Amino acid sequence: MKVIPIRSEDNPLARLMAGDAPAPAPGPLVDRLGRAVHDLRISVTDRCNFRCVYCMPRSVFGKDYPFLPRAELLSFEEITRIVRLFAARGVRKIRITGGEPLLRKHLENLVEQLAAIGGLELTLTTNGVLLPRMAQTLKDAGLDRVTVSLDAIDDATFRRMNDADYPVASVLKGIEAAEAAGLAPVKINMVVKRGMNDHGVVDLARHFRGSGHIVRFIEFMDVGSSNGWKMDAVVPSREIIERIGAEFPLEQIDPNYTGEVAERWRYADGSGEIGVISSVTQAFCSTCTRIRLSTEGKLYTCLFADSGHDLRDLLRGDASDAELDRAIAAVWHARSDRYSEIRTANTARAHKIEMSYIGG
C-alpha cells in the first residue's frame, strides 16, 4: 500500500497509514456518537453561474477567483468507485451537488454509472436554470428527483439574492421541466435571511401551495467564512411557521425517516406540505447521518468542518478497494461532530470550508 503523507497527527487517515487503525468490521459504519452513515453528498464542481449572497458572494468569488483545474476534480469513474464502497456500508441516498452540478459536462454519465450500482436513491440539488435542456436526459440516466434553490418568488428580490441577474422565470421553467420529466415532486429550498428576503416567505408558500411540490425554508447558516453570517440575520423556523400558519393553517406531521433534517408541516386543508430546516435554532446533530465528498476527493464529516480527509491520493495511488474501505471506515468511526449543538459567537467566526466547495 502506498504511504500517503497526512499533515495532522489527529487525522484518522494518518493513523491508518501508520498501521494504527484496526481493520473495520463488515456492515454499516457507526461513529463515536452512535450515528450510522446513510447519506453521501457529492460535489462535482466548485463552479456556479450564481453568486448567491449566502454562499458565493461576488466580493470573494469574483472573476479572478482560482477555481479548481479540471485535473484536480475526481473523475466520474473515481466517484463511482467511492459510491460503490459506501453502498456496501449501508449508504442508500446519494445527492449530487456543487457549486452548480449541471455545469459539469456530461453529468448524465455519472448518474448512469451510479444508477447501475442499484439500491440507491439518486437526487440532485441545482439552481434550476439549466434543467429545461437537461431534466429529461438526467431522468433517462436514472436520476430520481431534484431539489431546486429559489430564494424569492418576486423578481427584484431574487435577482438581489443570486447577484447574477437571473430572473425567477428561468428557475420556474426549470421546475416545470423537472416535473414534466418525472423528477417530481420537486423540493424547493429557500434560504431565509432577515432584512433581505424574509418578507417573501408567505408569498413563496402561496405560489407553490397546491402544486404538489414541497417548499423547505432554511435558516441562514454560518457555512464557510465569507457570507457575513450574523445571528440577527437568522429568521427562526418557528417564526416562519407562525407567519405561514397565520394565513394557511398548518399541522405538524412525522418525519419520513430517522435523521430527516426538515421538520414537516402540512396545510390543514390538504393542499400540500412545507418543511423547515432549523440547523441554527434547533440543532439536529444527534441524528445526522450525512457525509460529504468534495470536488477534488476529500471527505467531510460535517457541513461546518474546517478540514477534510483526502481520498484522491489513495484513488490515484493504486490503493485497493479494501484499503479505500479501511480509509472510509477510519474517518467515520472517528467522527464526533456536533457543531450546531455547540455553536457560539467564537465558533461561528472560525474558519470553515465554503459551502460551494462541499455542497449544501
Q: Is residue 349 part of a domain?
A: yes
The residues facing 47 across adjacent strands are none
Structure confidence at residue 222 (pLDDT): 66
Supply the CATH number for residue 42's domain.
3.20.20.70
Q: Is residue 224 part of a domain?
A: yes
CA 138, CA 279: separation in Å to the nearest integer? Answer: 30
Q: Name the phi and psi angles at 193, rounded to 5.
A: -120, 125
Domain range for 267: 12-21+29-358
The radius of gyration of the chain's CA atoms, rounded to the nearest angstrom, is 20
Structure confidence at residue 103 (pLDDT): 97
Lookup: cell for 319:
490503493
Q: Is residue 7 part of a domain?
A: no
Q: Is residue 5 part of a domain?
A: no
Residue at 3: amino acid letter: V
Q: Is residue 307 part of a domain?
A: yes
Q: pLDDT tens track of the chain, all 360 residues?
A: 333 333 333 455 555 555 555 667 777 899 999 999 999 999 999 999 999 888 888 988 998 999 999 999 999 999 999 999 999 999 999 999 999 999 999 999 999 999 999 999 999 999 999 999 999 999 999 999 999 999 999 999 999 999 999 999 999 999 999 999 999 999 999 999 999 999 999 999 999 999 999 999 999 876 655 555 678 889 999 999 999 999 999 999 998 877 678 899 999 999 999 999 988 877 767 788 899 999 999 999 887 777 789 999 999 998 999 999 999 999 999 998 776 666 655 555 555 566 666 766
Q: Is residue 331 part of a domain?
A: yes
Lookup: cell for 19:
498501521
What is the side-by-side order of every strand in the sheet holding 145-149?
250-253, 263-267, 273-277, 214-219, 187-192, 145-149, 121-126, 93-97, 39-43, 290-293, 298-300, 309-310
**Cβ–Cβ < 8 Å for 96, 360:** no
Q: Is residue 55 part of a domain?
A: yes
Would you call the peptide bond into 99 cis, given omega within 30 degrees of 0 as the criterion?
Answer: yes
Structural domain count of the chain:
1
Q: Is residue 143 part of a domain?
A: yes
Concatenated DSSP letters for 241-289? HHHHHHHS-EEEE--SSTT-SSEEEEETTSS-EEEEE-TTTS--GGG--
Structure confidence at residue 223 (pLDDT): 61
**Cβ–Cβ < 8 Å for 223, 352:** yes
